[in-house]
């Protein structure tokens, strides 16, 4: 009778021999000494490797890292990877624990590294890049130090030259533009470091139109023929009648566009400091640098600039010297060139406007030569104030409303308004710059016809400054 040995590890199995741990039955082995297959649990790493090899249909010996075959024929050694100490920094110098080996370099440096660094982009290139990008999404712009004091609408116009000014006003009015997280008004001033959030701008890509060298020379010569005063920081032009200061709907030729012909080698284009109406002739200040533009703009805001205008008006005022103080607001707030109306304090969009006037001469109790000194600088201020006192400016298409008026013979039906004189502190020295503009041709013709002497004393110079 054959007796089967009890199962190893069973309840009736043999007791472990003295000096041997019961854990020895979990050691991996292919067969015991008596040739019987081992039936204990297979939880060792070797057992797991053998089972995985059998499942893949491979020879267990080829993937057995502990077998005799692997020991006899070890796999080709791979180049050891550099080990890094966990406590050592990642960028430790070569040769120190955890350091990276130094990068191989050629004996002779490349010409690109040996040469001096390339200069940064010019102002023209920066503006071209900003215009080419054209904001496919929301942008956040930072105000530079030389942009301090700029109006928010002028800031956007300077950063995005291809963006129409009416579109700029629409963006600001609808609250789509934020300054430091808050809504802004078109006339808000910026300070260095402010964050300006600009919404997506949908603009047409500019067409590359090569400018003719001859045309640029003609534009430059034309602008230089208008210069009344010039130095390294600024110049004052004698803007002719009918030439717009900035572009708009249907306006192709304007002062701002002509100034591009005077762009310097560093990309700095002369900048407008203030505006005149298209049909107003006379002194127009241009800044040659951004710093000069910011300084001159502050002079206008602080009312440090003194301006005198000449006009030919209908009728003769009873009070030869007076003061006009009203509130002005646009009749159509969305129209940039809308007619201004006299408003009340507190009306939406109403701003205070103050003007001093003096009559210099008159002709047959029909026409007057008035001199104006505006204290504030509102849109169409002088034209609206002249009409408000009952003496509109001759040739004004917006505000001339005298009934049964017949234009005297020999006088052209053009706006008779001249920015005669301006006195402003120099942006660098602070000394006053005093410049006067001559009468435009149509006003000179009227002055000669009426017998007015342009050299006559102007009593407006004695008017108050505020």
Q: How far apart are CA 62 and CA 49, in angstroms?
A: 11
Supply φ then ψ for residue 187, to 5 degrees.
Answer: -95, 10
CA 466 to chain CA centroid, Å, is: 34
Asked whether 435 and 345 are in contact (CB, 8 A), the reply is no
Asked if 277 is an active-site residue, the reply is: yes
Q: How far apart are CA 340 and CA 383, in angstroms?
A: 9
Nearest to 153 by CA among 144, 145, 163: 163
Instruction: Quote the crossing angle between the two packed helices 152-159 and 165-173, to the nearest 10°.
Output: 130
Residue from 277, 279, 396, 458 carrying the catalytic annotation: 277
Nearest to 349 by CA among 329, 374, 379: 329
Three-state DSSP state, 433: strand
By DSSP bridging, strand 432-436 and strand 340-343 are unpaired
CA diameter of the chain: 157
Three-state DSSP state, 234: strand
Q: Which residues contact 51 (CB under 8 A, 6 or more apart)?
A: 42
Buried b (16+ CB within 10 A) or exposed e, 266-291: eebbbbbbbbbbbbbbbbbbbbbbbe
Find where tokens 């003096």 sit. Answer: 358
Q: How far apart are CA 306 and CA 219, in angstroms?
A: 30
Catalytic residues: 277
């Amino acid at each position: 009778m054959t007796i089967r040995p009890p199962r190893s590890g069973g309840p009736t199995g043999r007791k472990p021999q003295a000096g041997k741990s019961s854990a020895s039955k979990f050691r991996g082995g292919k067969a015991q000494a008596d040739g019987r297959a081992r039936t204990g649990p297979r939880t060792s790493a070797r057992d797991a490797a053998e089972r995985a090899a059998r499942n893949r249909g491979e020879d267990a010996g080829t993937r057995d890292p502990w077998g005799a075959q692997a020991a006899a024929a070890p796999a080709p050694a791979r180049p050891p990877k550099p080990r890094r100490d966990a406590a050592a920094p990642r960028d430790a110098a070569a040769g120190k624990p955890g350091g990276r080996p130094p990068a191989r370099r050629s004996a002779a440096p490349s010409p690109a590294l040996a040469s001096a660094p390339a200069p940064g982009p010019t102002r023209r290139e920066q503006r071209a890049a900003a215009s080419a990008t054209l904001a496919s999404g929301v942008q956040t712009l930072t105000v530079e130090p030389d942009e301090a004091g700029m109006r928010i609408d002028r800031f956007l116009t300077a950063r995005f030259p291809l963006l129409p000014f009416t579109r700029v006003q629409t963006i600001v009015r609808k609250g789509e533009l934020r300054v430091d997280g808050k809504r802004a008004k078109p006339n808000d001033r910026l300070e260095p470091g402010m964050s300006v959030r600009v919404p997506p701008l949908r603009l047409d890509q500019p067409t590359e139109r090569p400018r003719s060298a001859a045309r640029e020379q003609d534009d430059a010569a034309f602008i230089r023929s208008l210069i009344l005063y010039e130095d390294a920081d600024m110049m004052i032009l004698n803007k002719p009648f009918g030439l717009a200061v900035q572009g708009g709907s249907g306006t192709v030729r304007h002062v701002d566009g002509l100034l591009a012909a005077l762009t310097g080698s560093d990309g700095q284009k002369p900048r407008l400091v203030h505006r005149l109406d298209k049909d107003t002739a006379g002194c127009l200040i241009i800044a040659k640098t951004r710093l000069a533009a910011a300084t001159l703009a502050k002079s206008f805001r602080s009312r440090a600039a003194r301006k005198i205008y000449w006009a030919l008006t209908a009728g003769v005022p009873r009070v030869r010297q007076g003061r006009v103080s009203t509130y002005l607001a646009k009749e159509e707030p969305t129209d940039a060139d809308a007619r201004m109306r006299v408003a009340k304090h507190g009306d939406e969009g109403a701003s205070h406007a103050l003007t001093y006037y003096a009559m210099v001469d008159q002709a047959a109790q029909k026409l007057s030569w008035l001199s104006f000194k505006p204290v504030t600088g509102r849109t169409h201020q002088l034209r609206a104030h002249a009409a408000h006192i009952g003496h509109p400016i001759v040739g004004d298409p917006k505000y001339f409303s005298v009934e049964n008026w017949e234009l005297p013979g020999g006088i052209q039906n053009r706006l008779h308004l001249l920015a005669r004189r301006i006195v402003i502190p120099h942006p660098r020295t602070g000394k006053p710059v005093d410049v006067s503009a001559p009468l435009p041709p149509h006003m000179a013709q009227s002055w000669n016809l009426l017998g007015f002497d342009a050299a006559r004393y102007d009593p407006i110079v004695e008017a108050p400054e505020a």
